[in-house]
Amino acid sequence: MATAPGPVSALQATLAAENAAVYGYGVAGAHLTGSSLAQAEQDWTAHNQARDTLTAMISARGAAPVAAQAYYQMPFRVHDAASAVRLAAYLEDGVTRAYLGLVAVNDQRLRRFGALAMQQAALRAAAWRGSTQAFPGLGGSVPAGPGEATRRSS
């Protein structure tokens, strides 16, 4: 059966973000101790499970899941607990953005799946950052988009 490219490419992008998060938490965890390390391990497990779920979803659509890279360039030098915590928040922001991409597809179940998954990532990001954001996944650049919802016949 032919598969629409939109959902699969959005799923692949999300899987790539999860792969990066799995790797990144390994880097962060090496600099954490105590409750922070326990939290990182819990989040790492959540990302592993999400990776497996996404892999299965992509395979079920007849596509080959994107493979994890052997090495990921970190966005900044991670050398202590503070930078490890910043990395964890950074990783969760990336995952949140990726799931937001799923919300844009026309498949309603994928939209809902993406929206709920991004809530989990936003919660983890807020926990690492110690503060909430007005627009998780959209960052500071929220398109105004006037005319998005205009008058038309239902």
Q: Is there binding between residue 153 and another protein (CB under 8 A)?
A: yes
CA distance 127 to 121: 10
User: Least distance to another protein from the beta carbon of 68, Å?
Assistant: 25
**Cα separations in angstroms, 112 against 109, 144, 149:** 5, 23, 20
CA distance 33 to 40: 9
Q: Is there binding between residue 104 and another protein (CB under 8 A)?
A: yes
Token pair 């965890």 in the structure block, residue = 29
Give Cα 137 distance to the centre of its chain: 9
Q: Is there binding between residue 137 and another protein (CB under 8 A)?
A: yes
Q: CB of 37 within 8 A of CB of 44?
A: no
Q: Which of 16, 118, 128, 141 binds another protein (CB under 8 A)?
A: 118
Question: How many residues make contact with another protein (CB under 8 A)?
Answer: 40
User: Least distance to another protein from the beta carbon of 77, Å?
Assistant: 28
Q: Is there binding between residue 141 and another protein (CB under 8 A)?
A: no
Q: Which tokens is 124 given?
A: 């983890």
The contact set with another protein (CB under 8 A) reads 96, 100, 103-106, 108, 111-112, 114-116, 118-119, 121-123, 126-127, 131-138, 142-154
